[in-house]
Amino acid sequence: MSAVSTSAPGRRTGGLVSAGRRGYMNPYLAGFGLGLVLLASFLIMGRGLGATAASGSVTAWVVGLVAPDWVASNPGLKGYFAEPPWINWTFYLIVGAFFGALVSALLAHRLQPRVERGPRLGVPARLLLAFGGGMVAALGAKLAKGCTSGQALTGGAQLNAGSWIFMLAVFAGAYALAYFVRREWR
C-alpha cells in the first residue's frame, strides 16, 4: 500500500492531498490520530505529551559530563540532572517521533535532503533564520514552562487557561510576523 498519490497537484484524493509526487495525510485524520496518542499517553503514563523535559534532560546530561557542579547549581537544569536522559520517558517520545517521521517519509517517498525556502531566500539565510527561530522557540518554551506540545496539546486538553492564552499568543505572533516575512516565500 502506498501513501503517494499520482493525481494532479493539489487535488484531494481519498485521505491524502496530492502535492505532485508527495502525498500528505488529511490534517483532520492526523489530528484525530494525535488526539488518540494524547489519550493513550494520559492512560498509560498518567500525563500528557511534551518535549521540553527530554531536551532539558539531554542538555543537563551532556553539559554535566563536562561541568557537573555547574549543572547541579543551575536552577534551570538541576531538576533534570538527577537521572540520565534514557530514564526520562519523554526521551523515548522524542526518539519515537523522529523514527516515526523517518518511516512516514520513507513510505511516502519524500525523504530527500534539501532546504525548504522561498525563491528570494538563499540557503545560508534560511538556515540562519531557522536556527534563530528555533532559539527563540526554545527560550519561549522555557519561559512558558512547556513547549507547544505540552502547552497546546496537554494543557489545552485539560482546559488550562494559561495554555489557551499561550496558543492564542503563538497564533497572534505568527500572524503578525507573517506580514514581514511573507515576501521571502513568494
Per residue of the chain (186 residues), give pLDDT as tens.
444 444 444 444 444 444 445 567 788 998 999 899 999 989 988 888 888 778 888 888 888 889 888 888 888 777 777 778 888 788 888 898 899 989 988 888 888 888 888 888 889 988 998 999 888 888 888 777 778 778 888 888 899 998 899 889 889 988 998 888 777 777
Residue 162 lies in a domain: yes
Residue 70 lies in a domain: no
Residue 85 lies in a domain: no
Residue 184 lies in a domain: yes
Residue 127 lies in a domain: yes
Count of structural domains, the chain: 1
pTM of the model: 0.66
Return d(Cα 7, Cα 10) in angstroms, integer.
8
Residue 124 lies in a domain: yes
Q: Which residues constitute the domain of residue 125?
A: 120-186
Burial of 104 from C-beta contacts in 10 A (0-12 / 13-18 / 19+): middle
* pLDDT for the residue numbered 23: 67
CB 146 within 8 A of CB 50: yes
Distances (CA, A) of 174 to 137, 145, 153, 164: 12, 20, 18, 15
* pLDDT for the residue numbered 22: 56
Neighbours of 85 (CB within 10 A): 21
Residue 74 lies in a domain: no
* pLDDT for the residue numbered 14: 46
Best CA proximity match to 38, nearest among 184, 156, 178, 179: 156
Residue 84 lies in a domain: no
